[in-house]
Amino acid sequence: MKTFNITAPDQKIKDLLIDKIDNLTKPKGSLGMLESLALQVGLIQQTLTPELRNPHNVLFAADHGIIADGVTVSPKEVTWQQLSHFSHGGAGINFLCDQNGFKLVLVDAGVDYDIPAGSKIIDMKVRKSTRNFHYEAAMTIDELETCLERGSMIVDKVAETGCNVISFGEMGSGNTSPSSMWMHLFTDIPLDKCIGAGAGLDSEGINHKLKVLSESLSNYRGGDSVKEKMAWFGGYELAMAVGGMLRAAELGMIILVDGFIMTNCILAASKLHPEVLSYAVFGHQGDEAGHKLVIEHLGARPILHLSMRLGEGSGAVCAYPILMSAVNMINNMDSFQTVAVTKYF
């Protein structure tokens, strides 16, 4: 069983960071969120001169047994087809990673397909698809522990490249369903508020999805622990993302959080280790129903709201230039002490 030792950043440097930010040549607070982001990054890295190095987006893919009950309009084969597409370039996450200098890492966590060797996709497959949590646990506790460990292993490999800022994405037809279940179980927000259109359900489809997930909740036969709930209703790609997030925090990396699904992964991670949230920068608030509610529950403030709901890590990667601006601000702006400008606030 993988264990994590995560500590919140030491606050001793906080006053020095605030003083440096407040005395840059600008009215205090005038650069808004750039200032709060610079403070957070400085705290994470324990320095007055933070830096962002070699960003990576790790995309985990897996299939879901619950898809058999008609909770999505996306057929199962889309998972492996899109994963293959990512490996060849030309998808949404590809151009965004290229544009923003991210290395894209693709991981098969549990795709119901034999991915060909040499496809630039890392084989971490636990099983070909989870089981259908409408009737039984999606995964065993042992499988969950395997996912946490494998997600952590991927982050270790990324960290070896010098990366200190990482985002996570996912691909898996039907994976808004397990995400909605985690959201409900770990926030107590009513289930109907946690469910949305996913890949494009109409109102009838959303009602059907709510019915299936409500029945699934009634059929739950597990215990009250976080891991038992994660295993019963989770997905292999989601659990690996949780393991990756926990390891990234343990290593002191900045975690750029993507949309609805990855927000529920950081939510689950925080139920295991609350300190992980100190390392999380929320990149994007999407239009998936419930995303705003779970962000508010976490007390987070997303950088962007672009009405996106693609997943793949797209919102996190889009937000990266804003994070860069925050770091460039604290490092490159003059202070009132070093230039002949009267402090004007």
Q: Sheet harboring 56-62: ordered strands across?
A: 121-123, 103-110, 56-62, 165-171, 254-257, 280-282
Annotated catalytic residues are 312
Give the pLDDT confidence score for residue 199 in this predicted structure.
65
What do you get for the CA distance between the two ends of the chain, in Å? Answer: 54
Q: What is the CATH number of domain 56-323?
A: 3.40.50.10210
Give the pLDDT confidence score for residue 198 in this predicted structure.
66
Residues of the chain below pLDDT 50: none
DSSP class of 300? -
pTM listed for this prediction? 0.96
Map out the domains of the chain as residue ranges. 56-323
Question: Which tens digit of pLDDT belongs to each residue from 232-271?
Answer: 999 999 999 999 999 999 999 999 999 999 999 999 999 9
Give the pLDDT confidence score for residue 288 in this predicted structure.
78
**Nearest Cα residue to 105 out of 43, 150, 49:** 150
Give the pLDDT confidence score for residue 1 in this predicted structure.
87
**Nearest Cα residue to 178 out of 235, 260, 129, 106:** 235
